[in-house]
Amino acid sequence: MLAEIVAIGSEITSGAKLDTNSQWLSQQLSDLGIPTGFHTSIADDLEANVACLRLAVERADVVIVSGGLGPTLDDLTRIALATVINRPLVLDSDALTTIEEMFRKRGRVMSDRNRIQAEFPEGSTPLANPIGTAPGIWLEIPRSGKSPCLVAALPGVPSELKRMFEEQVVPRLPATGEVIRRYRIHCYGCGESQADELLGDLTARGRDPEIGITAHEATITLRIEARGKSEAECQAKIDEAKGAVWSRLWKFAYGVEDEELETVVLRTLAHYGWTLGVADCATGGWLARALGALEAEYPGRALVVTGVEEKVAGVLLADLEDDIHEHRVGRLAAATREHLRVNYALATEPYPDLTPDEIAQSRLRIRVAVAGPDGILVDSLAIGGNPAILPARIGKTALDLLRRELPSRLQ
Amino acid sequence: MLAEIVAIGSEITSGAKLDTNSQWLSQQLSDLGIPTGFHTSIADDLEANVACLRLAVERADVVIVSGGLGPTLDDLTRIALATVINRPLVLDSDALTTIEEMFRKRGRVMSDRNRIQAEFPEGSTPLANPIGTAPGIWLEIPRSGKSPCLVAALPGVPSELKRMFEEQVVPRLPATGEVIRRYRIHCYGCGESQADELLGDLTARGRDPEIGITAHEATITLRIEARGKSEAECQAKIDEAKGAVWSRLWKFAYGVEDEELETVVLRTLAHYGWTLGVADCATGGWLARALGALEAEYPGRALVVTGVEEKVAGVLLADLEDDIHEHRVGRLAAATREHLRVNYALATEPYPDLTPDEIAQSRLRIRVAVAGPDGILVDSLAIGGNPAILPARIGKTALDLLRRELPSRLQ
């Protein structure tokens, strides 16, 4: 069984609005064992709507349509669906009563245009909308040589769509007897192709469970997706795949699921009752933001001082002025540790003011350092590459250096 | 002329990742006078990719493909495009040299897998990727009875996609004769409906130029959109609308286009050669992130100290311990100004540890303060409301208090 999500509206195809419904619907269907093969967004054009819906009914077994159910001339989903099944639109008096009632309750006058929201393709089932004026539509469209295609049209307002999907579409979808479960493992310090090579045939297509690789700001994520008849079966497959991934990428793997490097670091620090100080001259606020986002979960665990080196030095480290360059970032970390009276300190080295193009081409390496009870560790990274992710790369390199130094590893 | 955006990757159709490229690409095409009729997202399946691309080439005149150009077995865009035009993939030795060079510069070993990124459908043009390893592909596909379909395939990494679209796709697209221009004015300190009321009929639908209101984290933005035959015609319309908006919202308007409150504040400080210190006990890193993001543009201008009050106090302000509560935030700002030897200092007051529901219902007000050469200013805000945007509201209230205190206003 394969699903297609169709989002209708020129506000989406024009870029005025970001469609988030399709992502949410795919996640829900996936949990029910129904994979989504296609997302389609169409402008408010009847011919295009009819053609896209015909194609969806042909290539997918479940089609979830969002949007185009409002009262305006732009709203074409009702008439497009009626055209696809070659039936007229007919007024549903129960639906009309409900819409009239909704307007009365909100103390508003119902416009004549809203009557059209009570019209449905003949033979379809209205789906009640408990929190808005647009009812949805449920259709089972016969197909030659195949099971009927199940079509649900829902309003585009996310809160209405979500509630109606859960309450009225899910119970109408057939049980697939299949369960899908996912698991993510995150790595830092290796490239996407290096990870792919280390994993060998584990990422081959058609493998069960499937293992995909994605990269985001230099973090490499392995996404395991297991299908089975039960949650236990999926879990067993995931456990096996986890072991296989682990044995090949243990050097780089730092966390799972929603864990970021900073989560792992702060959790470990909190476990031991330790604190962290950061003198950041390079990430332009990235470290402050990453650690600051966890302030509520691990209050007071990390104290971040940002600013160019002169500032940090001026305030914290006046004695470092004539330090030789190579040891500077290590000394900065050590001085930060002492000055802020923390258990561990991170420091990042400032780098020259470069344009994005100069960064992309640069062969410069910059240093990050950790100072802890056992001394000072320094690592470095090449700044060349995508300038947009450089702050994240520097911050993550610093956090990863600290993570490796801390006693506990993955849970 | 009609465009279609095709996003490739199971991480999108499965819901694991939200596609934001399609929205951005539609906006860019719209600026060039090319409307987008369709967005399509496809799972990593060769047959589906080929069918969708064939359909796109048939129904759209410009097709922008994102994703599927990486080095892994999942990356099928190259082979799908070759299949659509019925040509083999051929190695481009220049592209290979560039990719090898990119790896050398980053000090990494190029894996064999990456060679495939130098393979292109025969007859296509490689599009150089200045900041990543995946080159793009440009293709003009002949169609019977119609002009050729223009196809650009770009990497899915947003920063790479955006740069390559602007630098290499835009110059290859035909001129349309219609121009669309936009302009944004940002306000802080008024609500969306208050702004709407002050603007009166300026926001009526169908007006030319159109003026829309959006709200994001308590910043109110007026979006002016003008259409015309030339940039000058659009500019004249925008200038008139700007004047009208300005005369009604001057009390709240602080910036235009990409300017945030922190941009305006730091630009003013930089203009006078002044510095800012921040003792932040309330925004959980929001102020550090906002000011840190401008570190490259205004280096050394702002020094931010984050952490719970005890930490900030312990390090900077040991003398404040028995201060009375009402004056505490003002004293904190003044002490920060003195301690960090800056021209201005901001301070935010800590508030009790509350659950999101408690925040939403709370009637508590918290204080922010500015200390400058002319003394101390204190403002306050109610913390009740959407808890997700509270850090931004506190940070913006503090920045806006400082902005009003600084001599220069809008450019």
DSSP assignment string, A18-67: ---HHHHHHHHHHHTT--EEEEEEE-S-HHHHHHHHHHHHHH-SEEEEES
Give which of A2, A193, A227, A362 to mutate to test B binding, by max B Cβ within 10 Å.
Answer: A193
Residues B303 and B327 in one domain: yes
- Confidence at residue B241, expressed as pLDDT on a 0 to 100 scale: 95
- Confidence at residue B379, expressed as pLDDT on a 0 to 100 scale: 92
Domain assignment of residue A99, yes or no:
yes
Number of H helices and E strands in chain A, helices first, is 14, 17
Which band of pLDDT confidence, cut at 50, 70 and 90, is reported for residue A223? Answer: very high
Domain assignment of residue A410, yes or no:
no
Pair of tokens at residue A133: 């004026």
- Confidence at residue A215, expressed as pLDDT on a 0 to 100 scale: 87
**Dihedral sign, Cα of residue B266, residue B267, residue B270, residue B272:** negative
Residues A101 and A224 in one domain: no
Residues B211 and B325 in one domain: no
Residues A140 and A17 in one domain: yes
Give which of B1, B39, B221, B263 to mutate to test A binding, by max A Cβ within 10 Å.
Answer: B39
Domain assignment of residue A122, yes or no:
yes
**Does A307 contact B300 at a Cβ distance shorter than 8 Å?**
yes
Residue A217 contacts B, CB cutoff 8 Å: no
Separation in Å, CA B140 to CA A295, A346, B57, B58: 52, 52, 10, 13
CATH number of A398's domain: 3.90.950.20
CATH number of A159's domain: 3.40.980.10
ipTM for this model: 0.72
Beta strands in B341-391 (DSSP E): 344-348, 365-372, 375-382
Do the beta carbons of residue B396 and residue B261 sit within 8 Å? yes
Residue burial B168-188, b: 16+ Cβ < 10 Å; e: rest = bbeeebeeeeebbbbbbbbbb
Residues A284 and A366 in one domain: yes
Strands A365-372 and A375-382: antiparallel
Residues A375 and A237 in one domain: no
**Does B13 contact A285 at a Cβ distance shorter than 8 Å?**
no
For A137, phi and psi rounded to 5 degrees?
Answer: -135, 135
State which residue of chain A sits closest to B8, comparing Cα positions: A38
Residue A358 contacts B, CB cutoff 8 Å: no
**Does A305 contact B305 at a Cβ distance shorter than 8 Å?**
yes
Between A261 and B290, the higher pLDDT residue: A261
Q: Which of residues 78-117 of A touch B (CB under 8 A)?
A: none
Pair of tokens at residue B171: 């110059």
Residues in B closer than 8 angstroms to A220, CB to CB, are none
- Confidence at residue B326, expressed as pLDDT on a 0 to 100 scale: 54
**Does A37 contact B43 at a Cβ distance shorter than 8 Å?**
yes
Tell me which of A172, A195, A217 is where a domain ends. Answer: A172
Residues B147 and B235 in one domain: no
Residue A14 contacts B, CB cutoff 8 Å: yes
Q: Which of residues 112-151 of A touch B (CB under 8 A)?
A: none
Tell me which of A118, A137, A172 is where a domain ends. Answer: A172
Residues in B closer than 8 angstroms to A351, CB to CB, are none
Which band of pLDDT confidence, cut at 50, 70 and 90, is reported for residue A326? Answer: low
- Chain-wide mean pLDDT for chain A? 88
State which residue of chain B sits closest to A215, comparing Cα positions: B157
Pair of tokens at residue B245: 């908006």
State which residue of chain A sits closest to B294, comparing Cα positions: A284
Pair of tokens at residue B20: 């934001």
Residues A212 and A127 in one domain: no
Domain assignment of residue A40, yes or no:
yes
Domain assignment of residue A326, yes or no:
yes
Per-residue pLDDT of chain B (411 residues; tens, 9 = 90+): 899 999 999 999 999 899 999 999 999 998 888 999 999 999 999 999 999 999 999 999 999 999 999 988 889 999 999 999 999 999 999 999 999 988 888 777 888 888 999 999 999 999 999 888 899 999 999 999 999 999 999 999 999 999 999 999 999 999 888 888 889 999 999 877 788 888 888 887 678 888 888 778 889 999 898 888 888 999 999 999 999 999 999 889 999 998 999 999 999 999 888 999 888 888 877 888 888 778 778 877 877 776 544 444 444 444 444 444 557 788 889 888 887 788 999 999 888 878 877 887 788 889 999 999 989 999 999 888 778 889 999 999 999 999 999 986 544
Counting Cβ atoms within 10 Å, is residue A156 exposed (0-12), middle (13-18) or buried (19+)?
buried
The secondary structure of B24-59 as a DSSP string is: HHHHHHHHTT--EEEEEEE-S-HHHHHHHHHHHHHH
**Does B11 contact A223 at a Cβ distance shorter than 8 Å?**
yes
- Confidence at residue B194, expressed as pLDDT on a 0 to 100 scale: 80
**Does A36 contact B23 at a Cβ distance shorter than 8 Å?**
no
Measured in angstroms, the CA of B70 and the nearest CA of chain A are apart by 9
Residues B329 and B210 in one domain: no
Q: Which of residues 154-213 of A touch B (CB under 8 A)?
A: 182, 191-194, 196-197, 203-205, 212-213
Domain assignment of residue A276, yes or no:
yes
**Does B302 contact A307 at a Cβ distance shorter than 8 Å?**
yes
Distance separating alpha carbons of residues A179 and A32, to the nearest angstrom: 6
Domain that holds residue B234: 179-256
Strands A276-280 and A302-306: parallel
How many structural domains compose chain A? Answer: 3
Domain assignment of residue B410, yes or no:
no
**Does B108 contact A18 at a Cβ distance shorter than 8 Å?**
no
Q: How far apart are the first and last CA of chain A?
A: 37
Q: Which of residues 371-410 of B touch A (CB under 8 A)?
A: none
Percentage of residues in chain A having pLDDT higher than 90:
55
Q: Helix, strand, coil shares of chain B as percentages rounded to 5?
A: 40, 25, 30
Percentage of residues in chain A having pLDDT higher than 70:
94
User: Which residue from A38, A204, A305 is facing B13, i.e. has the nearest CB?
Assistant: A38
Residues A58-87: tens digit of each pLDDT:
999 999 999 999 888 778 999 999 999 999
Residues in A closer than 8 angstroms to B70, CB to CB, are 192
- Confidence at residue A22, expressed as pLDDT on a 0 to 100 scale: 98
Do the beta carbons of residue B198 and residue B184 sit within 8 Å? no
Q: Across the strands, what pairs with A303? A: A277
Q: Which of residues 28-57 of A touch B (CB under 8 A)?
A: 28, 30, 35-43, 45, 48, 51-52, 55
Give which of B28, B45, B111 to mutate to test A binding, by max A Cβ within 10 Å.
Answer: B111
Residues A153 and A183 in one domain: no
Residue B144 three-state SS: coil
Separation in Å, CA B383 to CA A402, B131, B221, B329: 36, 43, 22, 16
Pair of tokens at residue A392: 């994240």
Residues A335-378: tens digit of each pLDDT:
888 877 889 999 998 888 788 888 888 888 999 999 999 899 99
Residues in B closer than 8 angstroms to A191, CB to CB, are 108, 111
Q: Which of residues 248-307 of B touch A (CB under 8 A)?
A: 283-286, 288-296, 299-300, 302-307
Measured in angstroms, the CA of A117 and the nearest CA of chain B are apart by 23
**Does B71 contact A288 at a Cβ distance shorter than 8 Å?**
no
Residue burial A271-293, b: 16+ Cβ < 10 Å; e: rest = eeebbbbbbbbbbbbbbbbbbbb
Residues B122 and B190 in one domain: no
Tell me which of A172, A187, A208 is where a domain ends. Answer: A172
Which band of pLDDT confidence, cut at 50, 70 and 90, is reported for residue A307? Answer: low
State which residue of chain B sits closest to A38, comparing Cα positions: B42
- Confidence at residue A306, expressed as pLDDT on a 0 to 100 scale: 66
**Does B11 contact A41 at a Cβ distance shorter than 8 Å?**
no
Q: How far apart are the first and last CA of chain B?
A: 39
Residue burial A112-128, b: 16+ Cβ < 10 Å; e: rest = eebebbbbbbeebebbe
Domain assignment of residue A411, yes or no:
no
**Given a cut of 70, is residue A315 above it in pLDDT?**
no
CATH number of A220's domain: 3.30.70.2860
Measured in angstroms, the CA of A350 and the nearest CA of chain B are apart by 11
**Given a cut of 90, is residue A105 above it in pLDDT?**
no
For A410, phi and psi rounded to 5 degrees?
Answer: -55, 150
- Confidence at residue A325, expressed as pLDDT on a 0 to 100 scale: 55
Residues B276 and B129 in one domain: no
A5-9: average pLDDT: 96
- Confidence at residue A181, expressed as pLDDT on a 0 to 100 scale: 87
- Confidence at residue A346, expressed as pLDDT on a 0 to 100 scale: 94
